[in-house]
Structure 1
Amino acid sequence: MASLALVFLALLLPTISWLWDYIIVPHIWRPYIAAKRLREQGIRGPPYKFLKGCNEDVKKMKDAADDLVLDVHDHNYLPRESPLYTGLGQSLESASSTMSGPGRFFQANDDKTMVACAQNMVKELEDQASSNKNGETQVELDKQFQELTADIISHTAFGSSYKLGIEAFHAQKELQEIAVKSLLNVQIPGFSYLPTKGNWRKLTLEKKLRGTLMQIIQSRLSSKGSGYGSDLLGLMLEACIATDQGREQHQLSLSIDEIIHECKTFFFAGHETTSLLLTWTVFLLSVYPEWQARLRLEALRECGKENPNGDNLSKLKEARKLMSMVFLETLRLYGPALFLQRKPLTDITVGETKIPKDHAIIIPSAIMHRDKEIWGDDTDEFNPLRFQNGVTRAAKVPHALLAFSIGPRSCIGQNFAMLEAKSVMAMILKKFSFTLSPNYVHAPVDLLTLQPKFGLPVVLRLLDA
């Protein structure tokens, strides 16, 4: 009996320890204390449920709004995609990177890469349209833009290793889709380690993504004698190398895992945001053809019949240019991220609100972009001219546009994204006019980023047809 008791105790103690560390503290104690501290400050929300949190309520509201289809002139998709805020109403109460100096990564020759990749896409679309007697073709432009921006970021980030970069992109894209599907599921501790079909697929993709990026990185590190390359990965490795004085030993200031995470970040950010900016801009220019015509005239005036290059693109970059205004207004109405998230590293106080360490703060940028007190009564309308005096004067507060965030954590690739979008848009406008296909259904959906649920079918017409 004594030996059985010892065995029982030997099993009981680690079980209790596991329950305390992985169940009681993270799923009972911390949520209770967090809710209590916020209630004491007058900040209330829906009640927390064990393991489920508020996910069940959010999922029900999203399912109820999922069949809602909007008119193409209706840009207020928040009741459809942000029911947590618009549906709960009063139950919720308001309460730069080392790689790029001040935080804007852009290489002098990147515009050539962008134009070369965009040329291939535009040529394919031209061939499709010219093969029809009426000079028209219907295409899913959202898919075209996804492939194009993946091609551009692969060349820019990984240079000669861009084919491996494309493989990494496809793996990461599928992982994103898996993450979206499981986002509001009940998170049972330990479930992700079970040998289910979904878990095996996720593990396989993660191994492929890591292995592909590791292959690219190790290839660069082994060729340090000839330099690490002039692309984004090469510059990052160059910045991460610390050389000890008097020695020839090189040591990375970032671990391989950290470099891999950086690659994932700029791959996702550099591809997804630009692709969606182009997608929603084409949508808006199709709905408002007068703006499409105005931008076409500007593109022809600044670029002529030549392809965009560093000189004429610099003119289109000016804040006074209509193309800049249209892109900024697109980012306000259809920014890729509906929310920004920040987590304090220490206990902080914002105004009179105390925010505990490690508590995620959600900044609903999409809702703030529609605040009439900030943007005026026409906040739900497409009006690029609100930006004619620059971003800081477009609203009643200087930093109202949060599409790229602000501060030291702002997007390091925003200049790259805007230049890429302008290059592609200028080339399309000079070759085609476009309208929405009769098959288009206006149903923006939040899949980590704001995407057209049923794609963007567009009818392209050759201008010289």
Structure 2
Amino acid sequence: MENLVVLILVLLLGLALFYSCNILWPGPEKIRKKLRRQGVKGPKPTFLHGNTREMKSICHELKPVKKQDSNNYISTLFPHLLVWREAYGPVFQYSTGGREILHVSQPDMVKDIGHWTPSELGKPSYLKKSRKALLGGGLFTVNGDEWAYQRKVMAPEFFMDKIKDMIQLIEDATAPLLEAWESILEGAGGSTEIVVDDYVRNFSGDVISRACFGSSFAKGEEIFCKLRQLQKATAQRDAFVGLSAVWKHLPTKSNRAIRNLVEEVRLLILELAKANRNENGAEHAATHNNGLLRAIIDGSHGPLNGGTAEEFIVGNCKSIYFAGHESTAVTAIWCLMLLATHPEWQDRVRAEALEVCHGTMTLGVDGLHRLKILTMVIQETLRLYPPASLMMREALTDIKIGNLDVPRGTIVQVTRLMLHLDKEAWGADANEFRPDRFANGVAAACKPAHMYAPFGLGPRICIAQNLAMAEMKVLLARLLCRFAFSPSPSYRHSPAFRLTIEPEFGMPLVVTRL
């Protein structure tokens, strides 16, 4: 037994040394030299750790006082990016041990990034591995022909003609939330503090379950709960430390917990898919909206699914469950916070919502289009609090961005919040909540328009953005017709990076029944 333990330790040590000597230095150093020869500067990396120690040192030294009225939180979450941009300019390089990252915030170069196909500039391979527990091998992590096939399978289920049929389902999903808050306020004299996070997440989860998988939130609740646990566990695991690729395979308590959650989610999704197959008769199809699940199941038998049918189904269902509900929910939460702290805009949105919703049981597409002020508020929320703050791509072949030759294997990084707060693009008030900047659309809100990218850039733009916008409009319109919101004294403004940007300590708001 002791000999076996020694053998395992020797093998792990050998693997770590091989990884260190053959992956962590030669490849990234070759990329660094090519970029340096073209004038791209950056902090000097160290062996094994790259610049990760310096990143942590900067975060510790420059950790600012968190102000409740501050929308610019780059200095809180990513202070190293600000320090290096100030030192080296809008285009710089740094290392995370095994990866060389080219950080880009120069507008013309950002535009060029959106022109490359997923076969040339795709999702980084390390993300596919590190996020596999949460996203599987779904649309958000694959590249090339596999990506094109998966998008072809799923995108039609999110076209506007399909969204029209989902609006009533979204309306139905608001009912439990509205009833819960009415009950709370009835027992509290009409006004009290409510921590809104879980209510909004449950609503968004219910929408995805009903609209995409033909089940109510009661059936999908266990999947959402376990994916939320996976999200927190994955976010805590440091993917940027040199030997993390080795540590992830060790039998630690956290790694075992992640593996158990992955297996539990897999079984739940397969059970859902099995039920869909068994019930896929004419009567079921007529009474349930499960087109996306059916499309995924049918697509799993296609020639370009990149793996087994089971992997295809589980990976894409996990991607939709997580990305389709988490990013929408967190945006709605930030939107309520911004409306609570800007009562003049809350009054304007409420007046519009009351006019549009008056006497209607379901808003309908025409009603959603008439919610112009609410649309501007949502767009401004997405500008200030984009759910996915970092856009990461990997050069899958040698490419050119601007005048820069980017070698294969380079990780290209764009920080969305840097684009969204760029004062040259947005004006001197870029840090302020000003929804009226979108009065004439995105093209008139900033110059150039591609500096606004909450749903992504180029061919990989989010396929579910129509559903997300419809969902947020219905929810916020219904809430504002019934309740008024104001800041809670217990709220601590502290945006946290947990794969999405969310309130670290929750979102308590004082809710008053109208």
Normalization by structure 2: what TM-score?
0.79
In 1, Cα distance between equivalents of 2:328 and 2:404: 36
Q: 1:161–1:443: structure 2 CA closer, same or farther, 3 Å change rule?
A: closer
Name structure 2 gaps, 5 residues minimum.
1-7, 92-147
Q: 1:205–1:365: structure 2 CA closer, same or farther, 3 Å change rule?
A: same
For 1:70-97, what per-residue CA distance to the aligned partner results, in whole angstroms no more than 9, with x for missing partners? Answer: 132x211121122022233444433382
In 1, Cα distance between equivalents of 2:457 and 2:158: 11
Q: Give 1:330-409 correspondences, 5 Å limit.
A: 330-409=381-460
Q: 1:41–1:311: structure 2 CA closer, same or farther, 3 Å change rule?
A: closer
Equivalent position to 1:237, from 293, 297, 302 = 297
Report the equivalent of 1:296: 350
Q: 1:15–1:401: structure 2 CA closer, same or farther, 3 Å change rule?
A: closer
- What is the identity, as a one-letter code, of the residue corresponding to 2:183? D
Q: What SS does the aligned partner of 1:297 have? A: helix
Equivalent position to 2:209, from 154, 157, 163 = 154
Answering whether residue 200 of structure 2 is matched by residue 145 of structure 1, we say yes
Q: How many residues align?
A: 441
What's the CA shift for 1:269? 1.3
In 1, Cα distance between equivalents of 2:270 and 2:475: 31
Q: Give 1:305-324 correspondences, 5 Å limit.
A: 305-316=359-370, 321-324=372-375
Larger radius of gyration: 1
In 1, Cα distance between equivalents of 2:274 and 2:26: 44
Q: 1:437–1:420: structure 2 CA closer, same or farther, 3 Å change rule?
A: same
Report the equivalent of 1:94: 90
What's the CA shift for 1:430? 0.5
What's the CA shift for 1:191? 2.1
What's the CA shift for 1:15? 9.3
Name structure 1 gaps, 5 residues minimum.
1-10, 244-250
Report the equivalent of 2:122: none
Equivalent position to 1:38, from 35, 39, 48 = 35
Q: What SS does the aligned partner of 1:100 have? A: helix
- What is the identity, as a one-letter code, of the residue corresponding to 1:157? C
In 1, Cα distance between equivalents of 2:367 and 2:53: 48
What's the CA shift for 1:242? 5.3
Report the equivalent of 1:4: none
- What is the identity, as a one-letter code, of the residue corresponding to 1:455? G
In 2, Cα distance between equivalents of 1:143 and 1:156: 20
Equivalent position to 1:109, from 159, 165, 175 = 165
Q: 1:172–1:311: structure 2 CA closer, same or farther, 3 Å change rule?
A: closer
What's the CA shift for 1:66? 5.0
Report the equivalent of 2:256: 200
Q: What SS does the aligned partner of 2:215 have? A: helix
Answering whether residue 228 of structure 2 is matched by residue 173 of structure 1, we say yes
Report the equivalent of 1:328: 379
Q: 1:57–1:241: structure 2 CA closer, same or farther, 3 Å change rule?
A: same
Question: Quick check: 2:391–2:414 contact (8 Å CA) kept in 1?
Answer: yes
What's the CA shift for 1:199? 1.4
Q: What SS does the aligned partner of 1:172 have? A: helix
What's the CA shift for 1:22? 2.9
Q: 1:264–1:144: structure 2 CA closer, same or farther, 3 Å change rule?
A: same
Q: 1:16–1:117: structure 2 CA closer, same or farther, 3 Å change rule?
A: closer
Equivalent position to 2:341, from 280, 287, 302 = 287
In 2, Cα distance between equivalents of 1:287 and 1:397: 29
Q: Give 1:253-268 correspondences, 5 Å limit.
A: 255-268=309-322
Report the equivalent of 1:53: 50
Q: Give 1:72-87 correspondences, 5 Å limit.
A: 72=69, 74-87=70-83
Q: What SS does the aligned partner of 1:149 have? A: helix
Question: Quick check: 2:300–2:309 contact (8 Å CA) kept in 1?
Answer: no
Q: 1:171–1:388: structure 2 CA closer, same or farther, 3 Å change rule?
A: same
In 1, Cα distance between equivalents of 2:434 and 2:493: 19
In 2, Cα distance between equivalents of 1:271 and 1:39: 41
Report the equivalent of 1:132: 188
In 2, Cα distance between equivalents of 1:241 and 1:199: 32
Question: Quick check: 1:437–1:457 contact (8 Å CA) kept in 2?
Answer: yes
Question: Quick check: 1:369–1:401 contact (8 Å CA) kept in 2?
Answer: yes
In 2, Cα distance between equivalents of 1:170 and 1:19: 35
Answering whether residue 473 of structure 2 is matched by residue 417 of structure 1, we say no
Q: What SS does the aligned partner of 1:349 have? A: strand
What's the CA shift for 1:224? 5.6
- What is the identity, as a one-letter code, of the residue corresponding to 1:114? I
Q: 1:443–1:253: structure 2 CA closer, same or farther, 3 Å change rule?
A: closer
Q: Which stretch shows the higher mean deviation, 323-332 or 15-24?
A: 15-24
- What is the identity, as a one-letter code, of the residue corresponding to 1:183? D
In 1, Cα distance between equivalents of 2:18 and 2:235: 27
- What is the identity, as a one-letter code, of the residue corresponding to 1:165? G
What's the CA shift for 1:313? 3.3
Q: What SS does the aligned partner of 1:337 have? A: coil
- What is the identity, as a one-letter code, of the residue corresponding to 2:399? I
What's the CA shift for 1:440? 0.9
Normalization by structure 1: what TM-score?
0.87
- What is the identity, as a one-letter code, of the residue corresponding to 1:94? P
Q: What SS does the aligned partner of 1:129 have? A: helix
What's the CA shift for 1:48? 2.4
- What is the identity, as a one-letter code, of the residue corresponding to 1:236? I
In 2, Cα distance between equivalents of 1:333 and 1:60: 26
Question: Quick check: 1:313–1:423 contact (8 Å CA) kept in 2?
Answer: no
